[in-house]
Structure 1
Amino acid sequence: MTDMALKGADLIFTTSFGYMDPTINVAAKFPNVKFEHATGYKQADNVSVYSARFYEGRAVQGHIAGHMTKSNIIGYIGSFPIPEVIRGINSAYIHAKKVNPDVQFKIVWAYTWFDPTKEADAAKVLIEQGADVVLQHTDSTAPQAAAQAAGNVITFGQASDMAAYGPMPRVSSIIDNWAPYYIARTQAVMDGTWTSTSTWDGIGAGMVGIGEISSAVPADVKASAEALRDSLADGSYHAFTGPLNKQDGSAWLAAGETASDYGDDSLAGMNFYLEGIEGDVPN
């Protein structure tokens, strides 16, 4: 970042949670350079933050997974135990549970965003534990390949569509669509209108895309999943709507109450599993 700023960059995007403090520190030294940090929460006069409500897409995936699992065991490959990933696990779980009360989640942490070997190993472990659906919050297609080799295991694309693995094992996907945001923020710097902002958009704004639901998904499940997607997009439904309890049984959201973005026990700082998920959030 320092090298970029010294070489005359007017705008620097730092695109991972772990860059948060370095971004703030470097930005303080270069007040005339604009910084955009992805998935973080620390702002400054020349530092904006932006993220996507991937948990909305996880709700759709959980809905499909709960309907389609035959073993009632759903595997989940986590990258890092940060709020973004924990939100996704919780959202997928509660929406799978809504349509299949017998569903169980097994979670393996890969501690990487992209490492095909680690991701493949994680998928194989989950399949060996009985998972016939594998969700991932990592970005390679290795879990898709592992599922394809195992046979009769369903997966979902992450970040990109991964449609080459359709109609099975990949039955849908979450697609990151950052381009409109990047273009708008770059144009704002060029126009001299850039200000520090916090942006958190989802399906409705087009920042989170839901990949085509494949023919491997029964027509009625596809229709209900698309209805869920549309209700999340138009705001008529919130993925975290009570009653919901924390993992220890303590109340989190009352009936009809929806989660707040910021504040105590908010989505932005989510560091806990919801009731029914087994295991501990890694520290």
Structure 2
Amino acid sequence: MLIRHLLAGAAMALTATGALAQDDGEPLKVGFVYVGPIGDGGWTYEHEQARLALVEEYGDRIETVYQESVPEGADAERVLTQMALSGTDLIFTTSFGYMDPTINVAQKFPDVNFEHATGYKRADNVATYSSRFYEGRAVIGHVAGKMTETNKIGYIASFPIPEVIRGINAAYIAASEANPDVEFNIVWAYTWFDPAKEADAAQALIEQGADVILQHTDSTAPLAAAEQAGGVVGFGQASDMAEYKPSPRVSSIIDNWAPYYIERVGAAIDGTWESKDTWGGIDTGMVEIGEMTDAIPEDVRQEAQDLADSISSGEYHPFTGPLNYADGTEWLAEGETADDGTLLGMDFYVEGIDAEIPN
């Protein structure tokens, strides 16, 4: 897949002109394009919290605008074009499917700088950024493997892109190391945010015997379904989803974008912004593990914290061999760890996941 070449393309930091330095006293205009509503409780909610942190940090030195619930594709290109035409200096496009629209509009507006979340295409005026979500999924995967009583874990997946496949694999590896009898059932929702579809997916997995639900979709609907079913646990996705504590939400993966946004907008203000690729993890604070509630046994909480700490320190990598491909052929030998290029282009399941990846 083309995405396999991200690391090679990202190795060179392409430098922009620095033309965004605000020497005329006018505020820097910063735009955000969101794939879901700001009240989704997950992915978009956290990006919006980061925008609000920007306002608090820079005050009247910046002006921010945003548009929520923008579909990926032609609508995104239209929205980005309108933002650029309205005098926006720096635009954050916060979903993988905005990649080509971002590149297309950036070519038409070379004096506007863009930041694209989770993509792999860059240009002089387009930077990319993402988090190593798989690190957090390994931690909650361990908890899931320890907490399941049916040995069946359900996973609600959004789209079959490397980011999502990587998350499924990381969670499964950790869960199966904690519990060799664990099985993963995967439902593809083909949406980032659709509470009705997400609830249906959760219900289907629960009916198949899953007593732990993981998700790579953005609403709280799977947690609501788990709560209604009783005896089923889940985890906050992208945001803490704390309203479901202490159970069914027993922990969470939190995306903390604020420090990155503050840094990048500061660079735009002072004229040092440049195109680069950023992929932060637990160690940088871009990935956080939410409070582990008392619903998790104390020893499991400690094991999960130890795992998070070892990932953060670099002592442990979630993709460490021996690991095989789903067909049983060797992928990683004993002690070998996956390189970033393979992770960024991941299009396969590891051994033990009995499922097909949709085209």
Alignment TM-score, normalising by the size of structure 2: 0.77
CA distance in 1, matches of 2:292, 2:262: 28
Q: Deviations over 1:46-85 (max 9, x none)?
A: 1100000000000011100111100000000001111111
What SS does the corresponding residue of 2:340 show, helix, strand or coil?
Answer: coil
What's the offset of the Cα at 1:126? 0.2
Choose which of 175, 178, 183 in structure 1 pairs with 2:254.
175
Q: d(CA) in 1 for partners of 2:276 and 2:101?
A: 18
Quote how far apart the aligned CAs of 1:128 are. 0.1
Q: Which secondary structure does the structure 1 equivalent of 2:267 belong to? A: helix
Q: Could you say which residue in structure 2 is the equivalent of 1:22? A: 101
Question: Using the alignment, how far apart are the partners of 1:250 and 1:269 within structure 2?
Answer: 19
Partner of 2:164: 85
Corresponding residue for 2:347? Answer: 271
CA RMSD of aligned residues (A): 0.7
Matched, 1:238 2:314: no
Aligned to 2:180: 101
Amino acid aligned to 1:271: D
Structure 1: distance between partners of 2:290 and 2:213: 16
Q: CA deviation at 1:139?
A: 1.0
**How big is the shift at 1:233?**
1.1
Unaligned ranges ≥5, structure 2? 1-79
Following TM superposition, by how much is the alpha carbon of 1:6 offset from its aligned partner in structure 2, in angstroms? 1.1
In the alignment, residue 84 of structure 1 is paired with which amino acid? E
- Residue 140 of structure 1 and its aligned partner are, at CA, apart by 0.7
The correspondence for 2:282, drawn from 196, 199, 203, is 203
Measured in 2, the distance between the counterparts of 1:82 and 1:185 equals 26
- Residue 180 of structure 1 deviates from its aligned partner by 0.9
Match status 1:193 vs 2:256: no
Q: Post-superposition shift, 1:244?
A: 0.7
Shift in Å at residue 253 of structure 1?
A: 1.0
**Equivalence map 1:1-283=2 (5 Å):** 1-262=80-341, 266-283=342-359
Alpha-carbon displacement from aligned partner over 1:166-225 (angstroms, at most 9, x marks no partner):
111110000111111111111111110011100000111000110000000111000000
Determine the C-alpha separation between the residues in 2 that align with 1:261 and 1:143: 31
CA distance, structure 2, for counterparts of residue 108 and residue 27 of structure 1: 35
AA matched with 2:124: D
**Structure with larger RCO (C-alpha < 8 A, sep 6+):** 2
**Which runs of 5 or more structure 1 residues have no equivalent in the other structure?**
none
Higher mean alpha-carbon deviation, 225-234 vs 247-256, is at 247-256
Specify the code of the residue in structure 1 equivalent to 2:142: H
Deviation, structure 1 residue 235? 1.2
Aligned residues: 280
**Displacement, 1:28?**
0.9
CA distance in 2, matches of 1:20, 1:225: 34
Aligned mates of 1:148, 1:6 — CA distance in 2 = 46
Q: Which has the larger radius of gyration?
A: 2
Q: Which amino acid aligns with 2:354?
A: E
Give secondary structure in 1 for the equivalent of 2:167: helix
Q: How far apart are 1:32 and its partner, in Å?
A: 1.2
CA distance in structure 2 between the partners assigned to 1:167 and 1:14 by the alignment: 33
In 2, the alpha carbon distance for the partners of 1:249 and 1:191 equals 53
> Alpha-carbon deviation of 1:281?
0.6
Amino acid of the structure 2 residue aligned with 1:118: K
Q: Which amino acid aligns with 2:119?
A: G
Q: Distance in 1 between matches of 2:180 and 2:315?
A: 24
Query: Aligned to 1:167, what secondary structure does the other structure show?
Result: coil
Q: Aligned-pair distance for 1:160?
A: 1.0
Moved over 4 A (4+): none
Distance 1:138 1:209 in 2: 17
